Amino acid sequence: MEERAKVLEPMEPKRKPSSLLWVGGIAFTFFIALLGFFLAKVPGFDHVGQLASAIVIAIVFRQFFGYPEAIRSGINFSSKKLLRFAIILYGLKLNINTVFQDGIGLLIRDVGVIAFAILFTMWLAKVFKADKTISLLLGVGTGVCGAAAIAAVAPIIKSKDEETAIGVGIIALVGTIFAIAYTILRPILPLTPVEYGIWSGTSLHEIAHVALAAAPGGEDSLAIGLLAKLGRVFLLVPLCFIFMYFVNRKKHGKETAGNKIEFPWFLIGFIVMSLFGSYVLGSHIPVSDGFTNGVSNVTTWCLTAAMVGLGLNVSLKDLRTKALRPLIAMVITSICLSVIVYFIV
């Protein structure tokens, strides 16, 4: 018994340092996020954005200095808890009232876009023998709303942190390239500003990509483009529940304990915040643009810090072996999606 007590004695003082290391891990992810913010100001990276820039820095750090094991608990908190918090706040960007009033026709089209993006990407992944999880994440990101969709679906399909980070990095890079290509093509395409906005909002990856591409078309183009995109964001919630159903069905009957996925409560938070932002803020509780921008900034910083945590798990060796074929499948899907939507606008 005395020997046992001696073994246990040294464990007591470690509680306080561990909490400091936990805070240090969170602070570290925000520090890398800050570096990503400044890198995104550099020409070239300014089109990629803070999130993707921070992931690049995190991946480079991992390759040169290894994973900072001492502060793993704080990094894990950022990559999991802050990630869910960011998705909940992201719900404020979705105006459900606007979607139902003005975007029902676009919503129906968005369903087809999401189904095509996921199913076609997975078919190409099978043809190319690409990593299924990364390909699925890229299909969801392409069809719905980029990084936010990948982050929401990842815990449901039990994606590894490095797979999620790879998916987010690819979607940010490819989406930016496509958005820039749209702005270059706009003057030579026989589309009205509204048609161009619908094309952008229905086929591009992130909300930021839609804003980047549609803005040169004018206010009408930007407004209808964001509306089309909001419809796809709205469909993220039912899509997540569909994934839950199929994952549970696939694992039903297996004896292994712990196979059943946890209910993604953060999606309920996403819905609540969407309803709150759509029907309470502005109509019953007046809010300033400063408040809206502040919430948007908090969402961006939390999401960026979370992605840093994911990026620190990426090995370049795995990136080379696992990411190339899903990337090819996603690029082909994105090109086909752009062409198809162009002809049905």
Cα of 144 vs its chain's centroid, Å:
9
Q: Residues 167-191: pLDDT tens digits?
A: 888 887 788 789 878 988 888 999 9
Predicted local confidence at residue 6, as pLDDT: 46
pLDDT classification of 262: cutoffs 50, 70, 90 = low
Mean pLDDT, the chain, as a whole number?
82
Residue 11 has pLDDT above 50, yes or no: no
Separation of alpha carbons 79 and 129, rounded Å: 29
Where would I find the H helices in the chain? 2-8, 15-39, 50-65, 72-77, 83-90, 96-102, 104-128, 132-143, 147-153, 161-185, 193-203, 207-214, 219-234, 236-251, 265-279, 289-311, 316-344
**Please, is 256 exposed, middle or buried when counting C-beta atoms within 10 Å of its C-beta (0-12, 13-18, 19+)?**
exposed
SS3 labels along 323-336: HHHHHHHHHHHHHH
Q: Residues 314-338: pLDDT tens digits?
A: 666 666 778 889 999 999 999 999 9
**pTM as predicted:** 0.72
Higher-pLDDT residue of 256 and 86 is 86
User: Are 52 and 177 spatial neighbours (Cβ–Cβ below 8 Å)?
Assistant: no
